[in-house]
Structures are given as C-alpha cells and as structure tokens.
Amino acid sequence: MAPAIIFNMQLVLGYAAWLLCFAAYGWPRLKAMDRAAAMRAIAALHSFRFFGLAFAFHGLVGAGVPAGFAVPAAGGDLAAGILAMLALASFRSRPLFWLLAVAFNVVGAADLVIDYYHAVRLGLPEVSAGLGPMYAIPMLYVPVLMITHAAAFVLMGRALLAPSVDAAPTRASQPA
C-alpha cells in the first residue's frame, strides 16, 4: 500500500478514535466544569506543544521531510505552547487568562490548519516515513489538539452568549 494512503488512513482513524474518546470522557467532564476550569484543562494539554519543535530537529526527522512543513510546524507549535503556558500561569487574573486562552486557541488552531495545508501542498504523506518517531504526532497528538481547540471555541462561544459564572460581578450587576 502506498505511504500516502496509509498516512491518510491513519490520520482519519486518529481523529475517529479521539472523537469517540472525547465524546465519551472529555466533553461531558468539560461541560460540567465552570468555563475557566475547563479552559484551564485544555490549556494544560496544549502547554506541551513545545514538543513540536522536534520537527525542526535535523536527524530526528529525515532529510526528505520538507522544510516548508517542518519549520512552520515547529514555530507554530512553540508559539501555541508558550501562549497556553502563559494562560495557565495567569489563571488567577481572569481577564488576562481569557485573553491568553483566546490567543493560544486562535494561534494553535491556525497553526494546525496551516500545517495541514503545507503537508498536502508539499507532499508530506508521500514522504511520511521520513518523520521517523515524529510520525506519532500527526497521528496521535494533532487530532486531540484540533478537537480540543474546537471544544475551546464552543466554550468561548457559550461564554459570550450566556452570563459568566466565573467572572467577577460588575457594578451594573450589583444591587443598589
């Protein structure tokens, strides 16, 4: 079977497996938490995205892996991971926490979409064996990252549509 077919099949199966797990275990728990705690849990997962820097580690990935994929993927993962860590560190300052939560989700989701674009445009599935041990990242880690970005956007959207239970009361909401 051609490497590109195997790569694409495994990618789809990675999403399927994570969607089933997330629907059964992750989403019900996140929905039951207050929004800030749920976003904090998502930020904790994304704080490990610094590991994506390994895509730019020559020797760990083969020379056949296009630099046009590896370098932007590494940089985007580093940026999203640092923003997630900053969000975690700022949890007690809710306005700053939410600003950083929005930032790591926008940057992180955009990074993954751009990485998919570069991977397809540069033929990564055809040379995927050159990823070496990094092959596990797009198959096992990227699907749960994208799924949790989608969950984060749903949580943030709900926060905009409903009064927040985890925000401090404003003068207008306090009795006279």
pLDDT digits (tens, 9 = 90+) for 19-49: 999 999 999 999 999 999 999 999 999 999 9
Give residue 162's pLDDT: 75
Give the mean pLDDT of 148-155. Answer: 97
CB atoms within 10 A of CB 75: 15
* Unique residue bearing structure tokens 């895509």: 55
Q: What is the pLDDT of residue 58?
A: 83
Whether residue 166 has pLDDT greater than 60: no
Give the Cα separation of 64 and 16 in Å (integer): 28
Return the pLDDT at 159: 79
Helices 94-121, 142-161: axis angle to 10 degrees equals: 140
Cα–Cα distance for residue pair 53/48, rounded to 1 Å: 11
Mean pLDDT for the stretch of residues 5-9: 95
Mind listing the pLDDT tens digit for each residue in 89-115? 999 999 999 999 999 999 999 999 999
Q: What is the pLDDT of residue 157?
A: 92
| Average pLDDT of every residue of the chain | 91
Q: pLDDT confidence of 67, banded at 50, 70, 90?
A: very high
d(CA 150, CA 139): 18
* Contact yes or no for 39/92 (Cβ under 8 A): no
Instruction: Return the pLDDT at 5.
Output: 94
Any idea where the domains of the chain sit in the sequence?
Answer: 13-54+76-158
Q: What's the gap between Cα 39 and its chain centre?
A: 12
- pLDDT for 161 equals 82
Cα within 13 Å of Cα(154), Cβ side: 11
Widest Cα–Cα separation across the chain: 72
pLDDT band (50, 70, 90) for residue 173: very low
pTM for the full predicted model: 0.88
Amino acid type, 51: F
How confident is the model over 153-171, as a mean pLDDT? 70
